[in-house]
Amino acid sequence: MKFKIRCIYLLHIIVFLSAFSKIVSAEDGIPQIKSETFVLLEGSSGQVLFEQNMDSKIYPASVTKIMTALLALEKGNLSDIITMSHEAVWSVGRDTSHIALDETEQLTLEQALYALAIESANDAANGIAELIGGSMEDFTKLMTKRAGELGAKNTNFANAHGLPDINHYTSAYDLALIMAEAVKMPEFTKIFTAITYSMPPTNRQPETRTFNRKNSLLEGPYAYEGIIGEKTGWTGDAGFTYVAAARKNGRTLVAVVIKSPDTVSRWEDTRALFDYGFDEFTALSFKAEEFAADSYEIEFSGGEKLEMKLIPSGDFSCLVPKSANKEETEKEYIFFFDAITGKISGKAVFSLRSESDFTGEILGEAELLVCPVSANQKKPGEPAKKENNPGTEDKNPPAKIFSSIYGVISVILQIFGAIAIILIALYIRQYIKVQKIKKQKRGNCASKNIYKK
């Protein structure tokens, strides 16, 4: 009996500690994420609010199709006709996601995009790749190039659908950048939030195909308000992957979760990330005049110092935890000197002090126009500039004229000297040649005399 009572007490203590840990977690606002890799990004500025291993290379699975759709909408028209090739149809197994497209079957780019978004159709992805890139291989090069233009540094695409390939990888951060760009397009948000879509009969399929979205934050028990785009993925190597964007009160957030332990965890993790971004952060703004400088001395590695004027390209705004304030922020000026053009550029980097609990201490950066305070300043590597003050003109014209004449004569003498050296070299060469000929003749004569004897 005593043992039973003790067990009950122990159970109560465990429940209390569990509840207390949840209260503490809720108080500090930081979510407990089960996915191995994740990132929460502010869509308009690219500011990272929360992350774990966001730059690690991962296999994306079908969230690859976000990049496929982005390129399709940028380079194609929704009414464009796709004609499915043998390779586009049969290079993906029928045990993967598809809508049973057939060789020579024709469908519009719009229909293929709905199949891509809702059914995660690999055959539709291949058809889009051939339409936009000319071939599936060339399309993957366009994908990688476009990702790089968006700032992706750990991405290489080997296909348009995301099935396993050792050369097909990306990172959570790169995926967030791609999604942030994609949701700027109304067509993308419309297609990637559609719950259902009916594709009419085609030249090879007499029946209407109906696509229905399953397992998302758009509806059902895990529905989340404000979703403007989402894509799921899964393979044995990638695990459960998910990328979603949500917009509330003018704020756009992108959440990426990779290698979630199960499909429910990715919904819970994404919801927790969005709640954190929308509920625990507030906007902080800096007017341009707050980080401008009429006189700022720049010291370069060679010891040269320049007095410059710093002009911001505009105001700067960012998100900070609600517990933080402006006094906890710091700014640092960073400058770059182009030795070829002689141009100096700069930026102001804003951050929170290291004692802050916020995991993304770097808040962002603002471009600066860097102008010299004095036009007579010497840039690094330049010879010193002469002062051109009134009244300091040369007051001895005859000496100046004589100096000019002397310079001309010196050049003429140098030319004559060069010609003389060339003539002497030619003479010596000719002399040596003549001597060789005479020597050969004397040798021939000696040979003839010996023969007569």
**What is the dihedral sign for C-alpha 178, 183, 184, 185?**
positive
Q: Which of 149, 152, 73, 88 is CA-nearest to residue 122?
A: 88
255 Cβ partners below 8 Å, 6+ apart? 38, 39, 40, 41, 176, 242, 243, 244, 245, 246, 269, 270, 273, 274, 277
d(CA 366, CA 372): 19
**What is the dihedral sign for C-alpha 137, 60, 56, 227?**
positive
Q: How far apart are the first and last CA of the chain?
A: 144
Phi, psi for residue 225 in degrees, rounded to 5: -70, 135
Q: Given its phi and psi angles, is residue 263 left (phi above 0), alpha (psi -120 to 50 degrees) or beta?
A: alpha
Where are the strands (E) in 147-195, listed by range?
none
Q: Nearest 10 degrees: CA dihedral of 381, 382, 383, 388?
A: -160
Task: Give the DSSP per-residue string, 69-121.
Answer: HHHHHHHS-TTPEEE--HHHHHTS-TTSS-----TT-EEEHHHHHHHHHHS--
CB atoms within 10 A of CB 48: 19
Q: Nearest 10 degrees: CA dihedral of 43, 44, 45, 49?
A: -30
367 Cβ partners below 8 Å, 6+ apart? 312, 313, 345, 346, 347
Record the tokens describing residue 305, joined without a space: 């110092």
Residue 431 in contact with residue 425, Cβ under 8 Å? no
Q: Which residues are catalytic?
A: 62, 65, 120
H/E stretch holding 147 reads helix 136-149
Residue 282 in contact with residue 322, Cβ under 8 Å? yes
331 DSSP 8-state letter:
E
Give the Å distances, CA to CA, from 47 to 224, 249, 277, 286, 291.
Answer: 22, 17, 11, 15, 19
